Amino acid sequence: MLSLMQTALELGLISSITVLSLYLSYSMLNICDLSTDGAFTLGAATGAIVAISGHPFLSIPAAMLSGALSGFVTAFLQTKMGVDSLLAGIVVNTGLYSVNIAVMGNSSLLNMNKTDTVFSMCKDLLKGSPLEENYRLLVALLAVLLVCIFLVLLLRTRLGLAIRATGNNLAMVRSSSINTTVIQIIGLCVSNSFTGLSGCLLAQYNKSVNIDIGTGMLTMALASLLIGRMFFRKRGVSFGVLGAVLGALIFRAVYTLALRFDMPAYLLKLIASVIVIVAISGPYFHGKYQEKRKRAKARVNN
Amino acid sequence: MSQTMLSIRNICKTFGIGTVNEKVAVENLSLEAEKGDFITIIGSNGAGKSTLFNAISGVFLVDSGQILLDGKDITDMPEHRRARSIGRLMQDPMTGTAPKMSIEENLFLASSQKGWLGSISKEDRKEFREKLALLGMGLEDRMESPVGLLSGGQRQALTLLMATYHPPKLLLLDEHTAALDPATAEKVLAITKNTVAENEITCLMITHNMQSALDMGNRTIMMDGGRIIYDASGEERDKLTVDSLLNKFQEVTGGVLDNDRMRLG
């Protein structure tokens, strides 16, 4: 059970980087980036190819760069080419399927059993120390920590504030001297570089990439994000970042427990969908209910 | 010694060309403003006042004509580049600030010249506090509160501070006090008056309140049907009263200024 929870923690940490990516694009920039699944797989594929060619450390920046590139295309389509924001994500996501197979060398499966990865490098590094068995956890923890610190610092800069303002009041930023197009492009590049990193880490963790590795990531990350939002409501950005990570961990933990109680694994994606629906429509119905009650009360008073 | 700050030459703008809704919003309009001019603009709904402001600030490009700001042709310049020298306030207090961000974060966006990677420093906070205190609305003690918690008047005063943090060449006020209660409107107008005078900002202000159109600024223009139909300054303007202004409107257009709001305002 303990090792099961440790695995859940590791996988939760790795997927939390995608949740942080959505925190930036969905919560801050207010763009629903539907290319997440494809960008995740792209990062995984690119990272795997670079690692297989013998550069485990280079695989990280390569995967992030590929993600950023995909984010650039999505952002360019919606800001400069008149493609609707949601459609841009879907189109890029579909196109990425072919791109990803091409990146993986016309194959839909890559094996990294004998490849040096950032995880195996870390294991070698820790050989003989008491932490040796926890090498996976350490790598995942370090990655999440760095991304969190970067994100919190970024959101405090003028650029970060411009990203937040663009998501919060587009009309205001549009009539200011800030070029919203540039802000949206930068925002989606950074956010998708996180997604790529997350994919790269998961692939190296699994020691394999499958073309379907990213399928459903968007919904699962969104579910995590919305779970995380329940904590630290109305607190600052740093707590928002923390909430995103916490949400990812809780999602993973609940999933692992459900598996433990003999839930079939294929139900994961359905559960993620239901969580997203409940988290979004819950407050909606709550609002309607309140309104109805208020009206009923007013009627009684009359 | 006077210097032309804004020069608008024969601009035209028609919306919905070729449709049943075709509407000439601004027709062959020309306007010159000297540096330091504070011009109040009145006119009934649909007179083209807001269209004029949108044309100046670049929300859309004009169909024909030319707009010069401080001698520079800005006719084809995109909105965000014009915004470096043009500040703007709208009627709705919600439009000028980001509600989920704090007062200091909003101010920092407007004030910072430290480049994209700078963040709020101690000195910035000190400066914000001093400037906010001048508004007299107690905002200096709530710098970390989200702007969404402020009242309409407070938000509008903050927006004004943001728009004039680095005094713009031109300030456009589009009925910026119309959504506020009378006492707050009065206060925001007083702050406006001070800010504009102190920084010698060239300013255009649309208002529906005839009294403040005459009380504020040094020149008043009246618009109707996309054109300027009356332009008063100097002695002629000093003699104007709300009633004579309404009569003037009737005389020039043959109609009655369309709402009582103006008279009562």
Tens-digit pLDDT profile for residues B9-19: 999 999 998 88
Give the tens place of pLDDT for each residue, B77-97: 999 999 989 999 999 999 999
pLDDT for the residue B265: 43
Residue of chain B with shortest Cα separation from A27: B100
What's the sign of the alpha-carbon dihedral A4, A9, A10, A11?
A: positive
Between B254 and A218, residue with greater pLDDT? A218
**Could B109 and A169 be called an inter-chain contact, meaning their C-beta atoms sit closer than 8 Å?**
no
Structurally, chain A folds into a number of domains equal to: 1
Q: Chain A closest CA to B86's CA: distance in Å?
A: 9
- Looking at the domain assignment, is residue A281 inside a domain? no
A164/B57 CB distance under 8 A:
no
Q: Is B172 exposed, middle or buried (0-12, 13-18, 19+ CB in 10 A)?
A: buried
* Contact: B117, A162; criterion CB under 8 Å: no
Instruction: Report if residue A174 sits inside a domain.
Output: yes
Please work out, in degrees rounded to the nearest 5, the angle formed at the alpha carbon of residue B119 by the alpha carbons of B118 and B122. 120
Q: Give the angle A191-A196-A200 at the CA atoms, nearest 5°.
A: 150
Residue of higher predicted confidence among A85 and A279: A85
Q: Are strands B170-174 and B86-89 parallel, antiparallel or unpaired?
A: parallel
| Beta-bridge mates of residue B38 | B203
Q: Identify residue A121 by its one-letter amino acid code.
A: M
Strand partners, B33: B6
Coil vs helix vs strand at A208: strand
**Nearest chain A residue to B172, by CA:** A175
Chain B interface, Cβ < 8 Å to A: 57, 59, 79-81, 83-84, 88, 94-101, 105-106, 108-110, 112, 114-120
Residues in A closer than 8 angstroms to B100, CB to CB, are: 164, 168
> What's the pLDDT at A132?
83
Q: What is the pLDDT of residues A80-98, one digit of tens each?
A: 999 999 999 999 999 999 9
CB contact under 8 A, A177 and B80: yes
Of A157, A169, A180, the CB nearest to B118: A157
Rounded to a whole number of angstroms, the distance from the CA of A171 to the nearest CA of chain B is: 7
Q: Do B97 and A172 touch (CB under 8 A)?
A: yes
Distance CA A168, CA B98 (A): 6
Residue among B88, B89, B97, B105 with most chain A CBs within 10 A, to mutate: B105
CB < 8 Å & 24+ apart, contacts of B214-219: B214/B40, B214/B240, B214/B241, B214/B242, B214/B245, B216/B38, B216/B40, B216/B189, B216/B192, B217/B37, B217/B38, B217/B39, B217/B40, B218/B37, B218/B38, B218/B39, B219/B37, B219/B38, B219/B39, B219/B40
Q: Please determine, for residue B102, whether its predicted confidence score (pLDDT) is greater than 70.
A: yes
A234 to chain B, closest Cα gap in Å: 9
Please give the pLDDT value at position A302. 66
Residue of A27, A149, A177, A233 best to disrupt the B interface, most CBs of B under 10 A: A177
Distance from CA of A39 to the nearest CA of B (A): 27
**Average pLDDT for chain B:** 91
- Is residue B223 within 8 Å of B50, Cβ to Cβ? no
What is the Cα–Cα distance from A88 to A65, expressed in whole angstroms? 19
The structure's pTM equals 0.90
What are the residue ranges of helices labelled H in A23-58?
36-52
The H or E element spanning position A264 is: none
pLDDT in tens, B52-76: 999 999 999 999 999 999 999 999 9
Determine the distance in angstroms separating the CA of B84 from the nearest CA of chain A, rounded to an integer.
5
Q: What is the DSSP letter of A25?
A: I
* pLDDT tier, B257 (very low <50, low <70, confident <90, very high otherwise): low
Percent of chain A whose predicted confidence (pLDDT) is above 70 = 99
When pLDDT is averaged across residues A186-190 and rounded to a whole number, the result is: 98
Quick one: DSSP state of residue A129? S
Has residue A3 got a pLDDT over 90? no
pLDDT tens-place string over residues A222-265: 999 999 998 887 778 899 999 999 999 999 998 888 888 888 88
CATH of B4-85+168-264, picked from 3.40.640.10, 3.40.50.300, 3.40.1170.10, 3.20.20.80, is: 3.40.50.300
CA B136 vs CA A229, B157, B193: distances in Å:
36, 10, 14
Contact A158 B95 (CB under 8 A): no
Region B119-140: mean pLDDT is 94
The confidence score (pLDDT) of residue B262 equals 53
For chain A, percent of residues with pLDDT exceeding 90: 75
**A137: helix, coil or strand?**
helix
Identify the domain containing residue A109 by its residue range.
Answer: 2-268
Where is pLDDT greater, at B72 or B112?
Answer: B72
- What is the per-residue pLDDT across A289-298, written as a single tens digit (0 to 9) for each? 988 998 888 8
Q: Nearest-CA distance from B90 to chain A in Å?
A: 10
C-alpha to C-alpha distance for A226 and A167, rounded to whole angstroms: 17
Token look-up 């190819």 returns A49
pLDDT score, position A260: 86
Q: A180 contacts in B (CB within 8 Å)?
A: 80
What are the two backbone dihedrals, phi and then psi, of residue A219, each rounded to the nearest 5 degrees? -65, -40
Rounded to a whole number, what is the distance in Å from the CA of B91 to chain A's nearest CA?
13
CA gap A118, A14 in Å, rounded:
13
Highest mean pLDDT out of A282-291, B26-35, B254-263: B26-35
Residues of B in contact with A158 (CB under 8 A): 108-109, 112, 114-119
pLDDT at B249: 83
pLDDT, mean of residues A27-52: 97
- For residue A113, the model assigns a pLDDT of 93
How many Cβ atoms sit within 10 Å of the Cβ of residue A87?
A: 12
CA distance to partner chain A, nearest, from residue B115 (Å): 7
Tell me the domain boundaries of chain B. Answer: 4-85+168-264, 93-165
Residue A291 lies in a domain: no
CATH number for position A57: 1.10.3470
Q: Given this model, what pLDDT does residue A128 score?
A: 85
Q: How many CB pairs under 8 A join A and B?
A: 65
Task: Give the pairing type, strands B219-224 and B38-43.
Answer: parallel
Asked if residues B201 and B170 have their Cβ atoms less than 8 Å apart, the reply is yes
Torsion of CA A153, A157, A162, A168, to 10 degrees: 50
3-state secondary structure chain B: CCCEEEEEEEEEEEECCCCCCCEEEEEEEEEEEECCCEEEEEECCCCCHHHHHHHHHCCCCCCEEEEEECCEECCCCCHHHHCCCEEEECCCCCCCCCCCCEHHHHHHHHHCCCCCCCECCHHHHHHHHHHHHHHCCCHHHCCCCEHHHCCHHHHHHHHHHHHCCCCCCEEEEECCCCCCCHHHHHHHHHHHHHHHHHHCCEEEEECCCHHHHHHCCCEEEEEECCEEEEEEEHHHHHCCCHHHHHHHHHHHHCCCCCCHHHHHC
Q: Which of B59, B80, B101 sits opposite A161 (nearest CB)?
A: B101
Token match 């072919």: residue?
A: A98
For residue A156, give the chain B residue with the closest CA: B119
Mean pLDDT of chain A: 93
Over range B202-225, report the average pLDDT.
93
Option in A172, A177, A179 nearest B98 (CB)? A172
Residues in chain A: 302
Q: What is the pLDDT of residues A191-221, one digit of tens each?
A: 999 999 999 999 999 999 999 999 999 999 9
Report the residue of chain A nearest B102, measured CA to CA.
Answer: A236
d(CA A23, CA A187): 11
